[in-house]
Amino acid sequence: MKVVVVESPAKAKTINKYLGKDYKVLASYGHIRDLPSKDGSVKPDEDFSMIWEADAKSTKRIREIADAVKGSDSLILATDPDREGEAISWHLLEALRNRRVLKDVDIQRVVFNAITKSAVTEAMANPRQIDQELVDAYLARRALDYLVGFSLSPVLWRKLPGSRSAGRVQSVALRLICDRELEIETFKPEEYWQVMADLKASDGSTFEARLVELNGKKLQKFSLANKADADAALEAVRRNGFTVDAVEAKPVRRNPPPPFITSTLQQDASRRLGFSAKRTMQAAQKLYEDGKITYMRTDGVQMAEEAYQAARSEIRSSYGSQYLPEKARRYSSKAKNAQEAHEAIRPTDFGLSPKEFRGDADLARLYDLIWKRAVASQMEAARFERTTVDIVSADKTAGLRATGSVLMFDGFLTLYQEGRDEPSDDDDDSRLPQLKQGEQPALLEAKSSQHFTEPPPRFSEASLVKRLEELGIGRPSTYASIISVLQDREYVRLDKKRFVPEDKGRLVTAFLESFFRRYVEFDFTASLEEKLDLVSDGKLAWKALLNEFWKEFQAAINDISDLRVSAVLDALNEVLGPYVFKPAEGADETANPRTCPNCGDGLLSLKLGRHGAFVGCSNYPECKFTRAFSVDAEDSQNPVNPEGNVLGQDPETGKDVSLKSGRFGPYVELEPDEGEKPKRGSIPKGWDVESLNLEKALMLLSLPREVGKHPEDGEPILANIGRYGPYVQHIKTYANLPTVDEVFEIGLNRAVSVIADKKANPGRRAAAAKVLKDLGKHPDDEAPIQVLEGRYGPYVKHGKTNATLPKDQKPEDVTLEQAVELIAAKAKSPPKKKKAAPKKKAPAKKKTAASSKTKAKSE
């Protein structure tokens, strides 16, 4: 029996179809070991030794594989053909060696770029050993990311309260987004004008030409800077007749793009399908595991020889020989750090057209894109005829130019057109009339138009991936996780499919630029990627790379350890000044934008609080002026004014209904009569405060809502929103509702059913708390610490101690160190005193003759 190990059960299922009964295919379910999320997992002082741990699920997988290997004569490691795949195989071997089950077992490593019968069979016939150089590159990268994260993040927590963490590559990507935002905010539009003329040719057809020369000088973009310049240019055009001076028709070819690599697939799927990078990679992973496409993590643009022939055969049969070039098109990568060890992303069977594909919608759409791009890459070029006509005025003072582009042969465009952020010259499909030199077209109308320069656009997922790739930052397989981490940490948000940095993201970037500038520089990060590639090529020892990096990085950490928070704030004030301290519109340009608007002589400065940064006056506590960190926070991020924004009037009473912000968040309030307690309603979780209107406010103020009378006893059933969410109530029976909207929509029949179900199961115990994350063992007693999902939110558990997570803390981001701190704080807090049960009165003693006599004596 031969044991084959792959990453996923889906991949195992596909491969199992191609191998005989002598093989047993098992899945490792990805990585089986990782560095524990605690300080000390990488030990620089011990030659960068690393501690690896397997969680409970992975331990079970290892045990299953070990049991299978015990009764076999061969172990075949068939994980993915990249650095991560090599690392998974290495980890598995190490774990099995620790269990001492590899004696007399033949160990083989096989790789295939596609999960097809021919590819798998060929791989099995050509095994090799573990590529230690690829493993070393993995170890170096993992150690670097760990050392940066666990050294830098605690500094952030101490010096920049409210921040989450920092990463080696994510911080550079965040800087790109923040730099672009600052560029947009500080951008000053420049005015310019254009002059256009509508002309009529001798054959009666009309066309448009642009003024490009005036008084013997070629016009540049800003040559016509204002209306006066434009009016003078218009006069020069209107007072003249025109003659065609030159006509140039030039053939232009546009070649097809190469087949997809990881980054271009993410970019095009974003532009054309609206897929996030994560969604794209998930769909591509399934297509690969189903044997429909080749491996999807690659930066190679070449295809296997049989693929070229298959694509050309498909073109010949489906589109005709006129679409087939004489030779196969072969591409080479332009990326600085490309490793063309794998094929481009392509279909494994070009005969399976997108129309014949059967599967999930996402998979079908992505397969369609991959198939078309791969086939189009082998098609003939598209041919255009681009015509340029130069026209001069009679007095030679004005020169016009008309351009047009005509598609002569569509070539690969018949099948596929690449999504682009910017239009191409070839996209101009206007056709000019047949004009001849010396012809005198008639001027129908001349007009001017005002324009202003625009700031660069915010990054989309596609353009961010493209920029990271251009800079040589990260690797194709990491772009999806980089983007996900930035969003999960709430450093950026997507607005209309463009990245906008959050305040905490800008703070972190400003901090790193001020005190760790080298480590967020694009060139430094790119050069580190190149060194990691040298490790994978066997040209650089991985521990030498780590040693060189750690010496300088540790020194930088030590330099800032004694830095006072006031010095940090001074640096942030300097870096973020253009963003935080913008002068008001119409304000005196000589005035200091940092002057406190409240007291007039204090200076505004960044302050750090429990929940992040804000702006306060230097004259505190005499002046207590504060505002949000973001200049536009009140208008965009937090539209709730504590004093109240009036949404409208209650149609029944005519009183104002206001949106306010209180201690426990935003709420709506109906204007009370004098001396009365105001009627209020909290904004439920999930409702967008920015879009809250009068109608929704009145719905909240109408609660509790009577659904109807219970048919059995006539008592009312009420729907309301309480401390623990939406519910319905009948006398003393409370039953939860799944959504807030149902409070306003639930009918009597549904409410009676929910109440009856609750009454039928009054003592139903809650299900066991769901484990969200295993953090590792407590440093004091080695007992496990977990993040669990509780009834009232996520919490960390250690033994009998449960500590609730802060509201702004996502469970997936909790580290072991943070959990230990929360548990310690919880353990120190005094337990809540339980209310003492009322003492039962002693039963009255029966009167006896003796007691009666005693009582009589005392009286």
Domain boundaries defined on the chain? 2-130, 140-187+457-565, 191-255+383-446, 262-380, 645-701, 705-760, 770-828
Fold entry, domain 140-187+457-565: Topoisomerase I; domain 2 (1.10.460)
**Section 437-465 average pLDDT:** 93
CA dihedral of 732, 737, 741, 743, whole degrees rounded to 10? -10
Domain range 2-130, its CATH number among 3.40.50.140, 3.30.499.10, 3.40.50.2030, 2.40.400.10: 3.40.50.140
CATH fourth-level superfamily of 262-380? Topoisomerase I, domain 4 (1.10.290.10)
pTM of the model: 0.67
Classify the phi-psi angles of 48: left when phi > 0, otherwise alpha if psi is within -120 to 50, otherwise beta.
left
- Is the pLDDT confidence value at 412 over 90? yes
Q: Which residue has the higher pLDDT, 638 or 796?
A: 796
Tracing tokens 């990085």 back to the chain, one arrives at: 553
Looking at 188-192, 372-376, 452-456, 818-822, which range is the least confident one? 818-822
What is the pLDDT at residue 638? Answer: 38
Instruction: Give the Cα separation of 747 and 717 in Å (integer).
Output: 10
C-alpha distances out from residue 394 to 204, 233, 246, 516, 549, Å: 21, 15, 15, 64, 70
With helix as H, strand as E and coil as C, how does 6-61 read? ECCHHHHHHHHHHCCCCEEEEECCCCCCECCCCCCCEEHHHCCEECCECCHHHHHH
Assign 243 to helix, strand or coil. strand
Give dist(CA 77, CA 109) in Å, integer.
Answer: 5
pLDDT at 469: 87
Q: Which of 42-46, 170-174, 292-296, 724-728 has the lowest mean pLDDT?
A: 724-728
Q: pLDDT grade, residue 849 (50/70/90)?
A: very low
- The predicted pLDDT at position 814 comes to 83
**CA torsion sign, 356 to 359 to 363 to 364?**
positive
Interval 466-495 mean pLDDT: 86
Extract the runs of DSSP E, i.e. beta strands, from 438-554.
442-452, 492-495, 498-501
262-380 shares the fold of 2-130: no
Which regions of 413-457 does DSSP assign to beta strands (E)?
A: 442-452
Q: Does the pLDDT of residue 838 top 70, yes or no?
A: no
Q: Which of 8, 6, 24 is nearest to 89 (CA)?
A: 6
- The answer, yes or no, to whether residue 642 has pLDDT greater than 50, is no
Q: What are the backbone dihedrals phi and psi of residue 481, each rounded to the nearest 5 degrees, phi first?
A: -70, -35
Contact between 745 and 753 under an 8 Å Cβ cutoff? The reply is no
- Higher-confidence residue: 643 or 367? 367
Please compute the mean of the pLDDT values over residues 742-762 and round it to a whole number: 86
Give every CB contact of residue 678 below 8 A, 6+ residues apart in sequence: 669, 670, 671, 672
3-class state of residue 655 by DSSP: coil
Q: Choose the most confident range, by mean pLDDT, from 366-380, 410-424, 468-482, 616-630.
A: 366-380
- Residues 6 or more apart from 827 whose CB is under 8 A from it? 801
Annotate 517-551 with b (16+ C-beta within 10 A) or e (fewer): eebbebeebbebbebbbbbbeeebebbebbeebbe
Confidence at residue 628, expressed as pLDDT on a 0 to 100 scale: 72
Tokens 């005519």 sit at which residue? Answer: 654
d(CA 354, CA 366): 9
Helical packing angle, 132-159 and 522-536, nearest 10°: 150
Report pLDDT digits (tens) over 306-364.
999 999 999 999 999 999 999 999 998 765 544 545 789 999 999 999 999 988 889 99
Give the chain's mean pLDDT: 84
> Which is more confident, 183 or 816?
183
Quote the percentage of the chain above a pLDDT of 90: 40
Each residue of 26-83: pLDDT tens digit? 999 888 999 988 878 999 999 999 999 998 889 999 999 999 998 898 999 999 888 8
Nearest to 332 by CA among 302, 310, 305, 360: 302
| Stretch 464-491: mean pLDDT | 86
Q: What is the pLDDT of residue 82?
A: 86
Q: Which range (16-25, 424-433, 508-517, 816-825) has the least confidence? A: 424-433
242 burial type by CB count under 10 A (0-12 exposed, 13-18 middle, 19+ buried)? buried
Across 240-244, 388-392, 573-577, 779-783, least confident range: 779-783
- The pLDDT, as a whole number, for residue 42 is 92
- Residues that are catalytic: 295
Q: What is the mean pLDDT of residues 832-846?
A: 49
Contact 164, 143 (CB under 8 A): no
How far is the CA of 371 from the CAs of 344, 415, 824, in angstroms? 12, 10, 56
* Alpha helices for 160-226 (secondary structure H): 170-185
Q: What is the pLDDT of residues 188-222, one digit of tens each?
A: 899 999 999 999 998 889 999 999 999 999 999 99
pLDDT of 292 strictly over 90: yes
Residue 584, pLDDT score: 61
Asked whether the bond before 838 is cis by omega within 30 degrees of 0, the reply is: no
Mapped onto helix, strand or coil, the DSSP state of residue 439 is coil
**Residue type at 208?**
E
Cα dist from 657 to 642, 649, 654, 757, whole Å: 14, 6, 9, 37
Q: What is the pLDDT of residues 370-405, one digit of tens each?
A: 999 999 999 999 999 999 999 999 989 999 999 998
The Cα 280–Cα 483 span in angstroms is: 13
Q: Between the ranges 226-235, 414-423, 530-539, where is the mean pLDDT highest?
A: 226-235
d(CA 207, CA 197): 9
In 3D space, the residue among 189, 187, 194 whose CA is nearest the CA of residue 223 turns out to be: 194
- CATH code of the domain occupying 191-255+383-446: 2.70.20.10
pLDDT bin (cut points 50, 70, 90) of residue 583 is low
Task: Tell whether omega for the bond before 704 is within 30 degrees of 0, i.e. cis.
Answer: yes
Pair of tokens at residue 431: 């056709």
Segment 709-713 mean pLDDT: 91
* Residue 283 CA, distance from chain mean position: 17
Give the separation between CA 690 and CA 464, rounded to whole angstroms: 28
Q: Which two tokens stand for residue 37?
A: 């999320």
Give the DSSP H or E segment for 467.
helix 461-471
Q: How far apart are CA 716 and CA 703, in angstroms?
A: 14
- CA–CA separation, 662 and 678 (whole Å): 14
- Nearest CA to 362 out of 473, 286, 465 is that of 286
Where are any strands of DSSP class E within 589-678? Answer: 604-609, 612-617, 626-628, 645-649, 656-662, 665-670
Cα dihedral 153, 154, 155, 157 in deg (nearest 10): 90
Q: Which two tokens stand for residue 617?
A: 């006056």
